[in-house]
Amino acid sequence: MLDPAIEAFFAERKEGWLKKNTKASMNDNEMQQLQQECDLVFSLEQWLPNAAKRAGQISLSTHPCTFSHPSSRKNKNGYVTAILANSERVNDGFLRTGNVVVETDALGNAAALDVYKFLTLKLQDNKTLLAHIEDETPLAKDLLNQGGESYQGLRDGFLAMIAIDDTVITSSKIKQVYFPVWMEDDEYHLLSPLTPSGLVFELRKRLDVIRFSEQTKVLRDLKRKSEYSETGYKEIYGLTTIGFGGTKPQNISVLNNQNAGKAHLLASLPPKITQRQRRMPTHDFFMNSLNPWQVKETLEAFHGLISLPKEQRGGRFIEYRDRRIQEYMDYLMLMMWEVRREFEQSNINLPTQLPKEQQIWLFPNQQRNDSDEWVSVIINLITQQFVRHYKKVLGKKAIHLGIDEFTVIEGIIALNKELLR
């Protein structure tokens, strides 16, 4: 007695064959003859040898080459090697072959897809018929012995679908990449990237469940009516649907044909990064919160002035130079007030690693008018930071600033003493 899955397979094939060949003008006798012919065509004695001969026209593959190019299946050297990746599941956090349970795809002659469906039938023990034939189980032997030809001949014919040639053949129609490797004799490997079709269509399956399940339809309708629901639903935005094979998806692969040649692509866009204008200090305000490149033009203008020979500086040189220093000071005080406002929030944790003078300067509720000692320290630190930023921005072009220049800069910054409180 055949497994129910096998019986259902042949019943379906017979029904389709009769529907295709039945004509409205046929009488009862002709219908009876057509039924006898159908039974003969799909008898195990006749159908199994025919299917075994066609099995080699289909190749199981986890990464079909035809997704890269429909005509890449065959070239002058023969058929492109069908890849059957057998990767173990590893809890490494990667979405890859082996970490997701997916169907094994197949490619080849579309006229032999019935053989693929036959061999991949799930039987009562949840094993495929192909697995039974591989393991030479009693069920497989009983079935193939009814094939009208030798058992071994039929078995070899069906196993041709998963036969792997030792010679790996690729195609010029598959995109190829030179990948650098660091080996003693080789500098590059030539790789042919292939599509993991099982993963591609498993993604489509899961997306379709999220978007079009009956529960989602009900919940989406409740939202449209502005009615309450205790549960929500998910929406996936930015999807793109890609087609493989045009009007003949069966020429690409079995899974592609089952999905009408359509797969979904998730949105793959670079992140939108908002430029951060301020970083809160954790250990030092001058190192953490100030960015010399935000005052690049000011420092370059300062450099342009002090680079002039003395005879070319003119009567307003000091005014222009001091204005550039004050521009830098304006930037620093802007950062100071932003940090102070942030620290004034009731739920913020103040960074106690900041030096004591900076805590007095930046933290809320400080007695800043009780002493000039802390503000003198801050003015000196600002002067040092001005010099560091100048050297950072100008690099090798920077002019060495000695004690005299340092004193001048510190004097301009000291004019802002009361504004720093």
- The verdict on residue 407 lying in a domain is yes
pLDDT(347) > 80: no
Question: What percentage of residues in the chain have a pLDDT greater than 90?
Answer: 50
Mean pLDDT of 99-103: 89
Mean pLDDT of 23-49: 90
Conformational region of residue 261, where left means phi above 0, alpha means psi within -120 to 50, and beta covers everything else: left
- Residue 189 phi/psi, 5-degree rounding, is -110, 140
- The verdict on residue 45 lying in a domain is yes
- Residue 81 phi/psi, 5-degree rounding, is -60, 130
Q: Are residues 148 and 297 in the same domain?
A: no
Q: Which of 39-43, 175-179, 269-273, 335-339 bottoms out in mean pLDDT, i.e. has the lowest?
A: 269-273
Q: Are residues 20 and 159 in the same domain?
A: yes
Across the chain, how many H-helices and E-strands are there? Answer: 16, 8
- The verdict on residue 225 lying in a domain is no
- The verdict on residue 76 lying in a domain is no
Cβ(299)–Cβ(292) below 8 Å:
yes
Predicted pLDDT of residue 87: 87
- The verdict on residue 234 lying in a domain is no
- The verdict on residue 190 lying in a domain is no
Average pLDDT, the chain: 89
Q: Are residues 141 and 290 in the same domain?
A: no
Where residue 139 falls among pLDDT bands split at 50, 70, 90? very high
| Total of domains in the chain | 2
Q: Which residues is 263 bridged to in the sheet?
A: 242
Where residue 111 falls among pLDDT bands split at 50, 70, 90? confident
Q: Which of 114-118, 184-188, 346-350, 400-404 bottoms out in mean pLDDT, i.e. has the lowest?
A: 184-188
pLDDT(277) > 70: no
Residue 110 CA to residue 260 CA, distance in Å, equals 14
- Residue 75 phi/psi, 5-degree rounding, is -140, -170
Q: Give the domain extent around 382.
A: 285-420
- Domain-terminating residue out of 132, 147, 164: 164
How does pLDDT run across 187-245, given as a tens digit for each residue?
Answer: 888 888 899 999 999 999 999 999 999 999 999 999 999 999 999 999 998 899 999 99
- Domain-terminating residue out of 149, 164, 179: 164
Cα-based distances in Å from 270 to 205, 267, 273, 390 = 26, 10, 9, 34
Predicted pLDDT of residue 83: 85
Higher pLDDT, 398 or 77: 398
Predicted pLDDT of residue 110: 78
pLDDT(408) > 90: yes
- Domain-terminating residue out of 135, 164, 193: 164
Q: Are residues 156 and 290 in the same domain?
A: no
Mean pLDDT of 87-94: 89
- The verdict on residue 382 lying in a domain is yes
Q: Are residues 5 and 146 in the same domain?
A: yes
Mean pLDDT of 61-90: 85
Predicted pLDDT of residue 357: 93
The answer to whether the pTM exceeds 0.75 is no
- The verdict on residue 273 lying in a domain is no
How does pLDDT run across 175-186, given as a tens digit for each residue?
Answer: 888 888 876 677
Cβ(142)–Cβ(290) below 8 Å:
no
Predicted pLDDT of residue 321: 93
Tokens at 123, concatenated:
């039987």
Predicted pLDDT of residue 10: 92
